[in-house]
C-alpha cells in the first residue's frame, strides 16, 4: 500500500471525507432484511459455514466507562459494570456452547471491546476468560485482544492478562498532550499515559498498540509532532489513528458551539496532519495495515478484523454486542435490563437474527480488501471477466491519484488511503447495483 509522494495541497475528490468503515459499509444495509428465528436458524446452519478454513472470532462487549470522553457517542454507560455482568456473559457462553455449531468451531481471535472492558474487576475478567477456554475451543495461537485505558492498567489486571494469555492490547490514549487530554476528557496527564504504556511493554507484552486522535480543536502541528515523538520512543507495535469526528450531542460539540474551545481544523489541516503521521512512521519502518492503522511489520496482524472481513463468524457476547453466526447476523440489546432478561429467558438467546447471503459476503469482502489497500481483479471471482465497469471506475480514480492500477488490480495511493472509506463505499454501491452474486 505504499503510494508515491503527493502534493500537500491536493484537489479534493469528494466534498466530504468519510472517516469510518461504517460509512463504507452503508450500502450493504439494503442487503440485510430477512428476519429469522434465532434459535431455529442456529440449529440449522448449512454445512458450508462449518468448513474449517472459515475462521471464527469471539467479541465481548463491555459498554461501561469510568468517565465520558467529550467526543464520544459510542454505545456505552458512564458507570461501573453491574456486579453480575460477568455472570451474564458466562451464562451466555454456557448457553451457546450447548449448540453444536458453536461448540464444534475453533476460535482464532477474541476481542474485548467497549466502552472500556477493563472497568470489569480483575477477578471477573479472569472468570470470563476461563469460561471461554473451558466451554469453547480457542486455537493455540489465538489472538486475544483487550481494549483498555491507561488508568486501568493496574497490577491485578496485568496479572490476569499474563495468566490468561491476553496477547494484544488496544490502549485508548488519544493524545499525550495535556491540553488535548483535558479537552477530550481523558484521565491523567500525557506523562502518566506514557509511563503506563511503557510499564505494560516492560511486562513483556509485544503487541501493545494505542489509539491516536488527530485534528482535535486547536491542535497545533507541534502538538502532533510531540505525540508522534512520544509514540516512537515507546516502541509500540502499532496504532490506530483517527481524525476527530465531531458528533452532535457530544459535550465537545456543545463546547465548540458555545465558543468555549476552537473549532476543528479544516480538511486541508486534516490532510496535513495525516501526511505528518504517515511520513513520520513510514520513515521509521512502519507499514499501513489498513486505512487507519500503522504497524511495525510482524508485530501486529489484527486477526480479529481480518476474520470479520473474511466473513468468518463473530460470536458476540455482552449487552449491545453485534455478531454473526453462519448465515445470520444478530445484536444483543444494549439496555442492561433487557440484556439480563434475554440471558435469563427460556432460550437465553436473542429472539431473532437477520439473514445474510452470498451477495452480502462478496461485497463485504471486497470492502475489506480495499480497506486493507489492495484489490486484485481475481478477488471479483466470476465477475472478474465481466468487470469492465469496475476497471473503468478504477482508471478514473487512478487519474486523480487515488489509486495505482496495474494489470492484476489496484492499490490505494496515500491520497487514496486518506479517502479510502469514500472509495470503498463507491465500489460497494456499484457492486450492490450490479447485484454481484445473483
Ligand atoms: S473510553 Fe472510549 S467508549 Fe469510553 S467514553 Fe471514552 S471514547 Fe467513549
Provide the 8-state DSSP code for 114. E
pLDDT digits (tens, 9 = 90+) for 83-97: 999 999 999 999 999
| Phi and psi at residue 3, to the nearest 5° | -90, 170
| Dist. CA 198–CA 188, nearest whole Å | 15
C-alpha 64 to ligand 1 mean position (Å): 8
The residue assigned the cell 484489490 is 375
C-alpha 17 to ligand 1 mean position (Å): 23
pLDDT digits (tens, 9 = 90+) for 367-403: 999 999 999 998 987 666 657 888 899 999 999 999 9
* pLDDT at residue 8 greater than cutoff 60: no
| Dist. CA 235–CA 242, nearest whole Å | 20
| Phi and psi at residue 241, to the nearest 5° | -125, 125
How far CA 257 is from CA of 127, 180, 362, in Å, comes to 45, 18, 43
C-alpha 216 to ligand 1 mean position (Å): 15
What percentage of the chain has pLDDT greater than the value 90? 86
What percentage of the chain has pLDDT greater than the value 70? 96
Q: What is the best residue among 72, 181, 187 to mutate for testing ligand 1's pocket, by most ligand atoms within 8 Å of CB?
A: 72
C-alpha 42 to ligand 1 mean position (Å): 33
Q: What residues pair up with 148 in beta bridges, in sequence order?
A: 171
C-alpha 68 to ligand 1 mean position (Å): 6
Q: What is the best residue among 61, 73, 74 to mutate for testing ligand 1's pocket, by most ligand atoms within 8 Å of CB?
A: 74
Task: Give the pLDDT of residue 382.
Answer: 67
Sheet holding 374-376, edge to edge: 374-376, 409-412, 403-406
Q: What is the best residue among 114, 175, 186 to mutate for testing ligand 1's pocket, by most ligand atoms within 8 Å of CB?
A: 114
The residue assigned the cell 469526528 is 245
Pairing of strands 106-114, 137-148: parallel
C-alpha 72 to ligand 1 mean position (Å): 6
Q: What is the best residue among 75, 76, 149, 211 to mutate for testing ligand 1's pocket, by most ligand atoms within 8 Å of CB?
A: 76
Q: Closest ligand 1 atom to the C-alpha of 76?
A: 3
pLDDT digits (tens, 9 = 90+) for 296-321: 999 999 999 999 999 999 999 999 99
Residues within 6 Å of ligand 1 by CB: 65, 68-69, 72, 74, 76, 114-116, 149, 172
Question: Could you give the 3-state DSSP secondary structure of residue 286?
Answer: coil
| Dist. CA 179–CA 371, nearest whole Å | 32
C-alpha 122 to ligand 1 mean position (Å): 19
* pLDDT at residue 5 greater than cutoff 60: no
Pairing of strands 322-325, 328-331: antiparallel
Q: What is the mean pLDDT of the chain?
A: 93
Largest CA distance in the chain: 61
Q: Closest ligand 1 atom to the C-alpha of 174?
A: 7
Task: Give the pLDDT of residue 427.
Answer: 93
What sign does the CA torsion over 170, 171, 175, 179 have? positive
Q: Closest ligand 1 atom to the C-alpha of 115?
A: 3
Range of lowest pLDDT (35-39, 426-430, 431-435): 431-435
**Domains annotated on the chain, with CATH:** 35-308 (3.80.30.20), 358-434 (1.10.10.920)
Q: Closest ligand 1 atom to the C-alpha of 63?
A: 3
Nearest CA to ligand 1 atom 2: 115
> Residues of 217-238 as b/e, b for ≥16 C-beta within 10 angstroms?
bebeeebbebbbebbeebebbb
Nearest CA to ligand 1 atom 8: 72
pTM of the model: 0.94
Amino acid at each position: 500500500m505504499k503510494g508515491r509522494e503527493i502534493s500537500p495541497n491536493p484537489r479534493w475528490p469528494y466534498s466530504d471525507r468519510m472517516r469510518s468503515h461504517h460509512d463504507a459499509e452503508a450500502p450493504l444495509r439494503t442487503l440485510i432484511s430477512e428476519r429469522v428465528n434465532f434459535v431455529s436458524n442456529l440449529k440449522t446452519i448449512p454445512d458450508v459455514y462449518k468448513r474449517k478454513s472459515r475462521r471464527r472470532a469471539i467479541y465481548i462487549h463491555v459498554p461501561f466507562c469510568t468517565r465520558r470522553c467529550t467526543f464520544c457517542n459510542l454505545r456505552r454507560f458512564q458507570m461501573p459494570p453491574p456486579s453480575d455482568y460477568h455472570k451474564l456473559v458466562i451464562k451466555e457462553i454456557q448457553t451457546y456452547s450447548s449448540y453444536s455449531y458453536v461448540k464444534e468451531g475453533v476460535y482464532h481471535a477474541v476481542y474485548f471491546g467497549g466502552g472500556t472492558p477493563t472497568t470489569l474487576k480483575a477477578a471477573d475478567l479472569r472468570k470470563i476468560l476461563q469460561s471461554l477456554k473451558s466451554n469453547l475451543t480457542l486455537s493455540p495461537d489465538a489472538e486475544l485482544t483487550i481494549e483498555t485505558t491507561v488508568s486501568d492498567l493496574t497490577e491485578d489486571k496485568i496479572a490476569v492478562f499474563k495468566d490468561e494469555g491476553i496477547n494484544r492490547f488496544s490502549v485508548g490514549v488519544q493524545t499525550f498532550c495535556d491540553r488535548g487530554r483535558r479537552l477530550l476528557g481523558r484521565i491523567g496527564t500525557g506523562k502518566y499515559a506514557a509511563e503506563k504504556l511503557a510499564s505494560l511493554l516492560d511486562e513483556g507484552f509485544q503487541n501493545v498498540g494505542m489509539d491516536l486522535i488527530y485534528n482535535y480543536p486547536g491542535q497545533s502541528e507541534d502538538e502532533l509532532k510531540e505525540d508522534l515523538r512520544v509514540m516512537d520512543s515507546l516502541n509500540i507495535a502499532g496504532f490506530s489513528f483517527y481524525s476527530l469526528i465531531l458528533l452532535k450531542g457530544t459535550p465537545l460539540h456543545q463546547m465548540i458551539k458555545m465558543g468555549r474551545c476552537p473549532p476543528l481544523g479544516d480538511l486541508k489541516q486534516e490532510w496535513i496532519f495525516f501526511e505528518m503521521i504517515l511520513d513520520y512512521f513510514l520513515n521509521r519502518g512502519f507499514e499501513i495495515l489498513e486505512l487507519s492503522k500503522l504497524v511495525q511489520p510482524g508485530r501486529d496482524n489484527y486477526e480479529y478484523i481480518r476474520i470479520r472481513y473474511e466473513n468468518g463468524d463473530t460470536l458476540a457476547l455482552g449487552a449491545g454486542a453485534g455478531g454473526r453466526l453462519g448465515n445470520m447476523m444478530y445484536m444483543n440489546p444494549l439496555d442492561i435490563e433487557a440484556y439480563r432478561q434475554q440471558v435469563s429467558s427460556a432460550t437465553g438467546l436473542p429472539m431473532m437474527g437477520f439473514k445474510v447471503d452470498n451477495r452480502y459476503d462478496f461485497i463485504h469482502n471486497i470492502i475489506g480488501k480495499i480497506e486493507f489497500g489492495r484489490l486484485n481483479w481475481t478477488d471479483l471471482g466470476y465477475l472478474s471477466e465481466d468487470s469492465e465497469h469496475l476497471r473503468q471506475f478504477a482508471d478514473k480514480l487512478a487519474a486523480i491519484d487515488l489509486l495505482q492500477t496495474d494489470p492484476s488490480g489496484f492499490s490505494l495511493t496515500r491520497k487514496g488511503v486518506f479517502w479510502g472509506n469514500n472509495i470503498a463505499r463507491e465500489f460497494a454501491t456499484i457492486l450492490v447495483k450490479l447485484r454481484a452474486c445473483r
